[in-house]
């Protein structure tokens, strides 16, 4: 007897023959579908600014459940429940000047009380002015790499995979010390 949808359907199987095969599911495929249903955003990056070439620039992304996690969701297929938990494990910053840097966390927000110091965990130094770039600005991206850990306890199975989500960073201007001093002095 095979029961479908709780209605007590009957499937006749002649003697000596195998019954219908149990449905097979790919728990990782279910986990990927579950992750696709979660809101996993790219980083919400700090506001743009004008930076002095050779001076420390602090980079950070606002930490929220949709930009860093953790986010958890479950789905059931073929009677098997798969639970997936996603969290950002690294952020890759493309700086707009052909340089990329990767950090393992969201960074630390800058405050004026820190004055001219390097970020303790996520910073950068522009080595040449942005007027050498097309459009006088450095336009970059920040890509969050979400590690999704999934489990299917009924199958004694589980694993991980990675999802990437990118956000454009606000255009940044990197100025030499003399051009910044001239601009501040009104020249």
As averages over each run of 10 residues, the pLDDT of the chain (187 residues) reads 45 69 82 95 76 81 90 94 96 87 88 82 80 64 95 95 88 55 39
Predicted TM-score (pTM) of this structure = 0.74
Q: How many CB atoms lie within 10 A of CB 133?
A: 19
Cα dihedral 166→168→169→174 (10° resolution):
120
For the stretch 84-127, pLDDT in tens is: 999 999 999 988 788 899 999 888 888 888 778 888 888 888 77
Report angle CA 66, 68, 69 to the nearest 5 degrees.
70
């Amino acid at each position: 007897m095979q029961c479908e949808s709780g209605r007590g359907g009957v499937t006749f199987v002649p003697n000596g023959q195998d019954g219908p095969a149990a449905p097979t599911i790919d728990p990782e495929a279910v986990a990927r579908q579950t992750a696709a249903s979660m809101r996993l955003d790219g980083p919400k990056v700090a506001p743009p600014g004008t930076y002095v070439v050779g001076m420390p620039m602090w980079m950070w992304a606002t930490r929220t459940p949709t930009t860093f996690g953790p986010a958890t969701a479950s789905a059931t297929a073929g009677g098997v429940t798969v639970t997936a938990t996603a969290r950002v494990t690294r952020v890759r910053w493309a700086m707009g000047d052909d340089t990329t840097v990767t950090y393992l966390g969201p960074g630390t927000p800058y405050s004026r009380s820190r004055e001219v110091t390097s970020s303790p965990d996520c910073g950068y130094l522009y080595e040449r002015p942005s007027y050498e770039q097309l459009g006088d600005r450095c336009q970059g991206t920040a890509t969050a790499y979400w590690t999704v850990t999934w489990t299917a306890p009924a199958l004694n199975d589980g694993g991980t995979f990675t999802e990437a989500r990118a956000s454009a960073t606000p255009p940044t201007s990197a100025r030499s010390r003399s051009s910044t001093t001239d601009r501040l002095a009104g020249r």
